[in-house]
Amino acid sequence: MAETNLQILLKRRPVGAPVPEDFDIVETPIPEPGEGQVLVRARFLSLDPYMRGRMADVKSYAKPVALGAVMEGQTAGEVVASRHAGFAPGDTVLGGFGWQRFSVVGPERLFKVPATDPPLSASLGVLGMPGLTAWTGLEDIGQPKAGETVVVSAASGAVGQVVGQIAKLRGAKVVGVAGGAKKCDFVVKELGFDACLDHHGDLDAQLDAAVPEGIDVYWENVGGKTQAAVFPRLRDFGRMVMCGMIAQYNEAPGADAAGAPPGPNLGPIVRKRLRVQGFIVSDTGWSRYGTFRAEAEGWIRSGKLRWREDVVDGLANAPRAFIGLLKGENFGKLVVRVD
Ligand SMILES: NC(=O)c1ccc[n+]([C@@H]2O[C@H](COP(=O)([O-])OP(=O)(O)OC[C@H]3O[C@@H](n4cnc5c(N)ncnc54)[C@H](OP(=O)(O)O)[C@@H]3O)[C@@H](O)[C@H]2O)c1
């Protein structure tokens, strides 16, 4: 039987947490690359929190996925046909598109990457968009210095694990926040953070003990009650890197979270001369991808940068895995092994 393209489409816009019925799984013919384009067979699909935003029809920095369209996402795989002089069949690449087995893409943001060393899936995590996010956000906003104290939420996740390790390399004391003892153990024992606090426990008491000196850089991945506990502890001239607030992604836009704690009093931003800045990795990140990748690969080779992946088998399992990501069920960078 001829091979087909397996695709996962957005069937309807979720209200609250996504459910499997929000997605459709279909088989379609394999697309043909046009002039200047490349056909990529996905080996790994990256699942990332931003995809929840693309499922909602709200004004944002990127357009929503249309109903009936392929779910947006980045893949790493191999070129199977090319009508672009820079790519040949057999090349392994980062930059395929969508929750699908085959995609036709242009050369923009298509990067040749090694097939095995480091493993291809690393190009979606530690050496991909999440790693690039950590690196650019620390370079541009967090700027941790030796002796400073850095706190990072969702510390065992794709972005958080890289943030903490780079901050350690810069000489900072690094404290993670993660959900549960297993994740915290990994963050301290495998990644070398100085401490890790479990947000299912009493975060205030744990912060009192772990960072009595206060916090110079807070890397915000989560929002909600973690933000409420950490924010008041920022020191004068502290920096708060607003990377994401996953705890709030399933809420209706503009709605108050039911049962959420009141937001922090923002008055201290003035009094403490804090810098609170948001950023999107695509603003400037991809134009610096080569610099980031060279530095990160050097750290990997010398054993200074480690990572953990959570690999789910089979493209059809992507919806279930993505739903779990928004509840903290992943442990490490979530990727789908497509076939
Ligand atoms: N600004 C940018 O350009 C950019 C780029 C990439 C990612 N991001 C943001 O960075 C953050 C982390 O992304 P990632 O890819 O590294 O994901 P991730 O950390 O690998 O996975 C998400 C983690 O968030 C935590 N979480 C999920 N739901 C939560 C909830 N309701 N309350 C509290 N914690 C919850 C869970 O960790 P625990 O079990 O430890 O709580 C979960 O494992 C997200 O906010 C994402 O949107 C931003």
* pLDDT for 22: 98
Residue 257 has pLDDT above 70, yes or no: no
Q: Distance of CA 98 to CAs 45, 133, 301, 333, Å?
A: 8, 20, 30, 17
Q: Kindly report, residue by residue over 54-95, the tens digit of the pLDDT.
A: 999 988 899 999 999 999 999 999 999 999 999 999 999 999
Answer yes or no: are the C-beta atoms of 92 and 78 closer than 8 Å. Answer: yes
Q: Is residue 284 part of a domain?
A: no
How far away, in angstroms, is 96 Cα from ligand 1 center?
22
For the segment 97-123, the average pLDDT, to the nearest whole number, is 96
For the segment 255-284, the average pLDDT, to the nearest whole number, is 81
Q: Kindly report, residue by residue over 285-299, the tens digit of the pLDDT.
A: 999 999 999 999 999
* pLDDT for 264: 77
Share of the chain above pLDDT 90, in %: 92
Q: In this structure, which amino acid lies at residue 152?
A: V
Nearest to 176 by CA among 194, 200, 189, 162: 194
- Considering the domain architecture, whether residues 214 and 254 belong to the same structural domain is answered as yes
- Considering the domain architecture, whether residues 94 and 39 belong to the same structural domain is answered as yes
Number of Cβ within a 10 Å radius of residue 333: 28
Q: Is residue 290 part of a domain?
A: no
Q: Is residue 137 part of a domain?
A: yes
- Considering the domain architecture, whether residues 118 and 178 belong to the same structural domain is answered as no
Average pLDDT of the chain is: 95
* pLDDT for 263: 72
How far away, in angstroms, is 90 Cα from ligand 1 center?
33
- Considering the domain architecture, whether residues 179 and 64 belong to the same structural domain is answered as no
- Considering the domain architecture, whether residues 145 and 270 belong to the same structural domain is answered as yes
Q: Is residue 302 part of a domain?
A: no
Share of the chain above pLDDT 70, in %: 96
Number of Cβ within a 10 Å radius of residue 55: 21
Q: Which atom of ligand 1 is the closest one to the Cα of 48?
A: 15
- Considering the domain architecture, whether residues 52 and 190 belong to the same structural domain is answered as no
The confidence band for 254, taking pLDDT boundaries of 50, 70 and 90, is: low
Answer yes or no: are the C-beta atoms of 242 and 220 closer than 8 Å. Answer: yes
Count: domains in the chain: 2
Domain end point (choices 278, 293, 316): 278
The confidence band for 265, taking pLDDT boundaries of 50, 70 and 90, is: confident
- Considering the domain architecture, whether residues 146 and 273 belong to the same structural domain is answered as yes
- Considering the domain architecture, whether residues 157 and 120 belong to the same structural domain is answered as no
Query: How would you class 15 by CB atoms within 10 Å of its CB: exposed for 0-12, middle for 13-18, buried for 19 or more?
Result: exposed
| Ligand 1 pocket residues where CB is under 6 Å | 48-50, 130, 133, 154, 156-160, 178-179, 183, 199, 221-222, 224, 243-247, 279-281, 325-328, 330, 333-334
Of residues 264 and 76, more confidence is placed in 76
Q: What is the CATH number of the domain that holds 14?
A: 3.90.180.10
Q: Is residue 192 part of a domain?
A: yes
Q: Kindly report, residue by residue over 179-215, the tens digit of the pLDDT.
A: 999 999 999 999 999 999 999 999 999 999 999 999 9
Structural domain harbouring 169 = 131-278
- Considering the domain architecture, whether residues 92 and 154 belong to the same structural domain is answered as no
Q: Is residue 251 part of a domain?
A: yes
- Considering the domain architecture, whether residues 157 and 249 belong to the same structural domain is answered as yes
